[in-house]
Structure 1
Amino acid sequence: MSLPKERIDVLLVEQGYYESREKAKAAIMAGLVYANNERIEKAGMKIPREAELKVKGSVHPYVGRGGLKLEKAIRHFGLDMNGLVMLDIGSSTGGFTDCALQHGASHVYAIDVGYNQLDWSLRNDDRVTVMERTNFRYVTPEDLIGPVPNFASIDVSFISLRIILPPLLALLKQPADIVALIKPQFEAGREKVGKSGVVRDPKVHKEVLETMLHFANELGLGLKGLTFSPITGGEGNIEFLAHWRLEEPGASQQEKDPASLDALAHQVAMEAAHTFTGNSS
């Protein structure tokens, strides 16, 4: 007789690890949840109720939920953060900054157009340079008083990555890596965004990904990986994580052909739709 099974996200809530299935799902997709010592990657996976559950680290390992996004990027893209100097563009409460420091980054510039959002623990960390009330589009190398960054994370709202990426290239010490959130709600045309500000159509997700991947390719950024964020954005929007590499001048870099970029965009958009909605049509 087989043991009764239940969804892993349901069990995590039932056993008190998380207060909602949404938070449980985020932790699962960030690679923090184990059942019988095996990492779980799908929130919908059913396991025996008697299975031993473990959650890596604390339930909330970072000062902001954004840390779970970078956590997944580090794991999924195989990034080594040790000793890196990072630009955290759109730092907000500091989830990305906190995650980077916990994974070995030596210094972080926390940049945000807002004010008084960064967690107090990070404000008092000597490894963090706080740059509030700062419009990233106008940041120059002279504004970065400290070590030259060789890594950048981008998590911005109400602005397109097409405005952020070009000025970023002049600030990085090459070779450099970039992890960016691609947010369809801020990249798609108005007519493709629902009244509640949510983009639900996987076809629109695919179109946005294609546009951004081609744009970055034309800037000379090499795409190293693409996946979906482990947690949804505001109002439940599905968002995506891209990993680009900026090589040193003259270094050989194999450009991605348009067809392969489009194929990857389609694959990841469908995977995200299936994961979050159970529908990939």
Structure 2
Amino acid sequence: MRIRLDSAMVKRGLVSTRSEAAQLIAEDAVTVSGSPASKASRLVGPGEPIEIVRQKRFVSRGGEKLEGALAVFGVDVTGRSALDAGSSTGGFTDCLLQHGASRVFAVDVGRNQLHERIATDPRVTWREGVNVRDLTAADLPFACSLLVADLSFISLVTVMPALSSLVTPSGGHGAEMVLLVKPQFEVGREEASRGRGVITDPFLHRASVDKVSAAAVASGWTVAGETVSPLKGQDGNTEFLLHLRDPARS
């Protein structure tokens, strides 16, 4: 019987979940009978060979986005304690760990999303069903000098004060944040609906980054750098990463 490609990959033990399969397929990392597969919904038979031609380094695409930003910004993660706001599957956390973070506190408003490999890593403390806006520094299991954030369906402007309150210098490191800016959540519902959630106007891209940057400055941060994400969002949106430093807490 022919079944969906993503389901077949799970059934054959190539991946753990259908979403993981879909990510690999979207990254052109899967072939069927030697030919690239472009759709997770493609039907395959039991005799058709499926191969992953490029193994993922991280549990989600987010890891590659953050890794690109760390390289551009020159952020040294080694030995640091970090907070991952909006951890989801754990791509950002995975990247931090692979780059030498000593421990990570991963938080997400959703449930049952964190990859098992990340959830069981002794360096990771995680909480689910928690809105980052409801957290205070007293809720953290340890002081975090670095905060990374990949949030959806909310503007970073509205959470900037909350995020700022969660970062403190520790271990000889000053306070820093690396934030993923998603224009579709910064431009407003009316603008986003015009392109069905996909923002292509460079002016709106610039306005989104400037809007978040201004909120950061208003909260006492210095914008140390910005860069385009090396990968687009799954819906095709161009995304950006901001590097923030707090000169008063360095």
TM-score range, shorter chain: 0.7 to 0.9
3-state DSSP class of the match of 1:188? coil
What residue number does 2:144 align with? 149
Question: 2:166 is matched with which residue?
Answer: 171
Matched position secondary structure for 1:236: coil
Tell me by how many angstroms 1:195 deviates: 4.3
Q: Deviations over 1:95-152 (max 9, x none)?
A: 000010000001101100001110111111111011100010010122112x200000
Residue by residue over 1:173-217, the C-alpha shift from the partner in whole angstroms, topping out at 9 and shown as x without a partner, is 132110001111000022322342111111111111222212211
Q: Over the residues paired in the alignment, what is the CA RMSD in angstroms?
A: 2.0
Q: Distance in 1 between matches of 2:211 and 2:106?
A: 28
TM-score relative to the length of structure 2: 0.75
2-side partners of 1:132 and 1:103: how far apart?
A: 24
Identity of aligned residues (%): 44
Aligned residue number for residue 98 of structure 2 = 102
Q: How many residues align?
A: 199
**1:180 maps to what in 2?**
179
Q: Which residue identity is paired with 2:148?
A: S
SS in 2 for 1:109: strand
Q: Distance in 2 between matches of 1:190 and 1:234?
A: 19
Q: Which residue of 2 aligns with 1:217?
A: 217
Runs (4 or more) in structure 1 with deviation over 3 Å come to none
> Aligned partner of 1:102: which letter?
Q
Q: CA separation in 2, counterparts of 1:199 and 1:169? A: 27
Does the CA contact (< 8 Å) of 1:113 and 1:133 recur in 2? Answer: yes
1:203 equivalent in structure 2: 203
Q: CA offsets, 1:36-81, max 9 Å, x none?
A: xxxxxxxxxxxxxxxxxxxxxx641001110001110111111110
Is residue 227–residue 242 contact of structure 1 (8 Å, CA) maintained in 2? yes
Query: Counterpart amino acid of 2:62?
Result: G
Give me the TM-score of the superposition, normalised by structure 1.
0.67
SS of corresponding position for 1:87: strand
Please list every run of 5 or more consecutive structure 2 residues that lacks an aligned counterpart in the other structure: 1-22, 30-53
Aligned residue among 86, 89, 92 for 2:85: 89
> Does residue 75 of structure 1 match 2:71?
yes
> 1:218 Cα deviation (Å)?
1.6
CA contact (8 A) 2:157 2:211 kept: no
Task: Say if 1:196 and 1:235, in contact at 8 Å, map to a contact too.
Answer: no
CA contact (8 A) 2:160 2:215 kept: no
Secondary structure of 2:248's match? Answer: coil
Taking the aligned partners of 1:231 and 1:205, their CA distance within structure 2 comes to 15
Look up the equivalent residue of 1:127 and give its one-letter code. R
